Amino acid sequence: MGPGRCKIGGVTSPTAPVATTGYPWPIETTRLANGLRVVVSEDRTAPVVCVNLWYDVGSRHEPPGQTGFAHLFEHLMFEGSEHVKKTEHMRLVQGNGGSLNATTNPDRTNYFETMPSEHLELALWLEADRMGGLVPALTQETLDNQREVVKNERRQRYENVPYGDAWLRLLPLLYPQGHPYHHATIGSMEDLNAAALETFQAFHQQYYAPNNCVLTVVGDTTGAEVFALAEKYFGSIAAVPDIPPAPDGTLPIPAGAASRETVTAAVPAPRIYLSHRTHPFGTPGYDAVTVLATVLGNGRGSRLYQRLADGARIAQPDYIGSYGVDLAHAPAPLIVTATVKDGVPLEKLEQGLSDVIRSLVDEPISSDELNRAKALLTTAWWRTVSTVGGRADTLGRYTTQFGDPAAAADRLPRWQAVTVEDVTEAARTLLAPESRVTLIYLPEENQSEDTQPEEAA
Amino acid sequence: MSLITTRPGPGPARPYTFPAVRRLTAHGGTVIAAHLPGQILASSALLLDASAARETEGREGTATVLAKSLEEGTRKRDSAAYALALEGLGAELSASVDWDTFRVGVAAPVPVLTDAVRLAAEAARTPLLAAEDVIRVRDDEVTALRMDWAQPGPRADAALRSALFGAEGRYRRPLHGDPTSVAAVTVEDVLAFHESWMLRPGVLLVAGDLDALDLDALAEAAFAGTSGEPLEQAGPLGVPVPPARRTVLVDRPGSVQSTLRLGHRAPERATPDYVAMTLAATVLGGAFTSRLNHLIREVKGYTYGIRGSYAMTRRAGRFEVAAGVQTAVTAPAIRDTLGEISRTQLEGVTEEELEVARSWRAGQLSVEMQTPGAIAGALASLVVHGLPDDYYETLRREYLEATVEQVSEAAARHLTVDGLTLVVEGDGAVISEGLAEFGDVVDAEV
């Protein structure tokens, strides 16, 4: 037995290695005259390259009556631009061996494609064309079609799935009317139906500007090559002055009052979601919440699993856990969820969840529990950055949200520096029942009954 | 200054290589390892000839219950101690079952991979399997399946499987069983399955930085205490096609979408037509620009996405189109889908479409195989289908060299509109009348 070994659960095991940096690859950056920030991280291991763009616009920017617009707009970005015909974008990426996608969340919209590296220039050309030349190609027909696609996405992901609308229901309980996180990114059917072409043209002109974007390229290329290509393809796109910020997301934490909603719906078993507003992603407070969520509800060794699925056996083992949602512009939510086992009263599980959360304060976690959580977070971190796509998105995030791609290297060491006291303090200050959002799903007694949301406190 | 109008051509291509593969026979078993220099994580999987196909009639789901019982304690330590030991390494066990293998996988930072594999083998070879634990896991699995089956999809999948593989014994029931068959699984079934199939050495797959990994130590960790020779393999099941098209309705009252599963049988993975079939399916329903996605999503707006593909295992294969479509357009969506399948079967593919499919499939080999986990998955295919170590280079070349004639011929041979089974899971009260245009509608027994 050598150094780096410790006792875990009564048996001797080696501990996972501790990292001093979470980003052991080179990072080069530049900024074009039009404000476009360019980040490059060279890695010659495989003949692939990822191009990733973070636009600093998400559903938090949407005014009332335009919910879902940032995400619907993301769809329109795949439907052709000034020199790229409709359907050609997908054909050119896939037809040259690439994988691509885009996502929208409350904070931002990202677009990315991983390509065999000889097609790097093609990817940059496609991205520049839709940054600088989308509006001339945007038609009513395209908007109408993609509106239907998005409505189908809403049906498929949120409406036709048991518990599928939990996130849509939690947000308004966590964030007050008018807060940028109050409404869900998918938006309402009513707003989507009302979406007018001019709104989207204006949306693009306002937010899809080089000075509102970070271009990150990771993989089989060099900084010099990417900087030259970025200038060639993006350099002519004009900056947009005075881009309006999203509404201020500042909110007190913890929330001042508890709230509760009970939904009767076509679900197979009663389920509980508990949630709290915590700190914004990127703060030391949220690092403690990330470790806390892992101690509490990630894996079979977590407190929730050990005490409620394995110990008391009142929760279904496949459907219990806790996690933070990594939002950066306002207090981010921690979500705890569990589904009752057959024959167990809902109240018993709710009490059990409440007790386990409380236990983080009353029975401070052991060093074994803390080390287990850090080891799992370490593996998760390395898994995220094991692909050029994961690395590019990480660098884009840290550049957009914290102004510095190199800050990505700090997250893992910061998780590893979280102490037992930090977790206890986070539980004590953030997770009290007085600030808790509770969302309960109950199965319908008979199938004819409709969804009946109860009024929240 | 303005945007560059001309699309740039490709730069010089870097040659494609699959990571160097190393094989080692030691401690009674075989290690197959891929070298990923510099990777911080490594992935490993024990591949055992203990697939769902080895389950007994009426007890489908036995292997899945076993997989979920492995972490309920071993002969060395109880479940809580096991979870802390494994997760303390940052590792998580994934035990999974498919039609060809039972797979016990673990990923961990390179310096602790051998310890993680030793723990994985401890669970796979010497699980405690206490009666009360197995019963509880089984009951939880029944509940989990009920939860899963409340989602759209699993019942439709089961109905299609039953229609396509009705005469093929184990293959006619879902991979993980159904709530009824899992409820019938006994402690004795699970113990017998473990005793019969889990104690041969099997194959250990390793993907990681081999300069920092000791393959002999990994072999010792994986194969300790095992014995026995590899089992004989049964032959392919063939490709029977029904005499006429069938429509099966799975009722889901109030559903805002109809879940479509349209399929027929196809050859097993070893078919010499594999590359041509894969490319034909890519043109029809694989790529985003595929015929089906273009028409049903992009032109008609009926769906969020639609896919058509072949799934091929060691003994059997099937073609399937899967989609969720708005309830009101269920019949038109099916009509259009059949039209595209028929057109592909009768007229084949065009060079322009095939060029996309070729480059995409070839490029995906490098784009999608970056992580140790993905490489370990690729190694598993080599083992299961008896493929050579240089297979992925060959596959890439075959994709790039496939001709319109070869792919069109494969579409003609391996697609049939008349032999399709149409499974539709949706609001029967609203959609059954419209389904009549496709022939008699039968209610599913799921």
Q: CA–CA distance from A370 to each of A73, A353, A417, A422, B383 (Å)?
A: 42, 20, 11, 11, 39
Q: Would B416 be classed as within a structural domain? A: yes
Nearest CA in chain A to B112: A16
Q: Is the N-terminal amide bond of B127 cis, ω within 30° of 0?
A: no
Q: Would B435 be classed as within a structural domain? A: yes
The answer to whether residues B141 and B44 belong to one domain is yes
Tens of pLDDT, residues A80-122: 999 999 889 999 999 999 999 999 999 999 999 999 999 999 9
The answer to whether residues A269 and A221 belong to one domain is no
In angstroms, the separation between the Cα of residue A252 and the nearest Cα of chain B is 35
Domain span at residue A54?
28-234
The answer to whether residues A182 and A313 belong to one domain is no
Q: Please tell me the predicted confidence (pLDDT) of residue A380.
A: 96
Domain span at residue B342?
246-443
Q: Would A19 be classed as within a structural domain? A: no
Q: Would B186 be classed as within a structural domain? A: yes
Q: Please tell me the predicted confidence (pLDDT) of residue A159.
A: 87
CATH number of the domain enclosing A405:
3.30.830.10
pLDDT at A257 over 80: yes
- Copy the structure tokens of residue B52: 């769902």
The answer to whether residues B206 and B299 belong to one domain is no
Final residue in a domain of this structure, among B161, B189, B223: B223
Q: Please tell me the predicted confidence (pLDDT) of residue A87.
A: 82
Q: Would B231 be classed as within a structural domain? A: no
The radius of gyration computed from the CA coordinates of chain A, to the nearest angstrom, equals 23
- ipTM value: 0.88
Pairwise CA distance, residues B297 & B49, whole Å: 41
B127 - beta bridge partners?
Answer: B74
Q: Would A17 be classed as within a structural domain? A: no
Q: Would A305 be classed as within a structural domain? A: yes
Q: Would A239 be classed as within a structural domain? A: no
The answer to whether residues A274 and A388 belong to one domain is yes
Q: Please tell me the predicted confidence (pLDDT) of residue B379.
A: 98
User: For an interface test with B, which of A1, A8, A208 has the most B Cβ atoms less than 10 Å from its Cβ?
Assistant: A8
Q: Which residue has the tokens 């079967």?
A: B345
Tens of pLDDT, residues B260-291: 999 999 999 999 999 999 999 999 999 888 99
Q: Please tell me the predicted confidence (pLDDT) of residue A20.
A: 84
The answer to whether residues B61 and B191 belong to one domain is yes
Q: Would A448 be classed as within a structural domain? A: no
The answer to whether residues B256 and B212 belong to one domain is no
Tens of pLDDT, residues B341-399: 999 999 999 999 999 999 999 999 989 998 999 999 999 999 999 999 999 999 999 99
Return the percentage of chain B with pLDDT > 70, whole number. Answer: 100
Instruction: Tally A–B CB contacts below 8 A.
Output: 263
Say if CB B67 and CB B102 are below 8 A apart.
yes
Q: What mean pLDDT comes out for the span B298-311?
A: 94
Report helix, strand or coil for B378: helix
DSSP-derived secondary structure for B136-162: HHHHHHHHHHHHHHTSSSHHHHHHHHH
pLDDT band of A157, cuts 50, 70, 90: confident
Q: Which residues 211-230 of A are in CB contact (within 8 Å) with B? A: 220
Say if CB B43 and CB B52 are below 8 A apart.
no
The answer to whether residues A108 and A210 belong to one domain is yes
User: For an interface test with A, which of B4, B291, B329 has the most A Cβ atoms less than 10 Å from its Cβ?
Assistant: B4
The answer to whether residues B216 and B361 belong to one domain is no
The answer to whether residues A265 and A228 belong to one domain is no
pLDDT band of A447, cuts 50, 70, 90: very low
Q: Does A178 touch chain B (CB under 8 A)?
A: no
CATH number of the domain enclosing B86:
3.30.830.10
pLDDT at A5 over 90: no
Q: Would A454 be classed as within a structural domain? A: no
Q: Would A456 be classed as within a structural domain? A: no
Q: Would B387 be classed as within a structural domain? A: yes
Mean pLDDT: which of A138-142, A187-191, A435-439 is highest? A435-439
The answer to whether residues B264 and B195 belong to one domain is no
In chain B, the number of structural domains is 2
Q: What mean pLDDT comes out for the span A148-174?
A: 92
Pairwise CA distance, residues A311 & A258, whole Å: 28
The answer to whether residues A275 and A208 belong to one domain is no
Tens of pLDDT, residues A375-412: 999 999 999 999 999 999 999 999 999 999 999 999 99
- Inter-chain residue contact A8 with B112, CB threshold 8 Å: no
The answer to whether residues A62 and A203 belong to one domain is yes
- Inter-chain residue contact B11 with A121, CB threshold 8 Å: yes
Q: Would B229 be classed as within a structural domain? A: no
The answer to whether residues B291 and B325 belong to one domain is yes
Q: Would B238 be classed as within a structural domain? A: no
Checking phi first, is residue B254 left (phi over 0); if not, alpha (psi -120 to 50) or beta?
left
Mean pLDDT, all residues of chain A:
92
Q: What mean pLDDT comes out for the span B406-419?
A: 97
The answer to whether residues A227 and A298 belong to one domain is no
Poorest-confidence range of A11-20, A111-120, A191-200, B201-210? A11-20
Q: Which of A9, A115, A447 sits opposite B81 (nearest CB)?
A: A9
**Considering only CA atoms, which of A305, A294, A338, A307 is closest in space to residue B88?**
A294
Nearest CA in chain A to B39: A386
The answer to whether residues B85 and B204 belong to one domain is yes
In chain A, the number of structural domains is 2
The answer to whether residues B194 and B50 belong to one domain is yes
The answer to whether residues A158 and A291 belong to one domain is no
pLDDT band of A17, cuts 50, 70, 90: low
pLDDT at A456 over 80: no
The answer to whether residues A308 and A220 belong to one domain is no
Q: What mean pLDDT comes out for the span B72-85?
A: 96
The answer to whether residues A333 and A412 belong to one domain is yes
Tens of pLDDT, residues B12-33: 988 889 999 999 999 999 999 9
pLDDT at B446 over 80: no
A175 - beta bridge partners?
Answer: none
pLDDT at A18 over 80: no
pLDDT at A2 over 80: no
The answer to whether residues B212 and B290 belong to one domain is no
Q: Would A415 be classed as within a structural domain? A: yes
The answer to whether residues A38 and A131 belong to one domain is yes
pLDDT at A15 over 80: no
The answer to whether residues B378 and B257 belong to one domain is yes
The answer to whether residues B130 and B50 belong to one domain is yes
Cα B245–chain centre separation: 26
Residues in chain A within 8 Å Cβ distance of B91: 375, 379
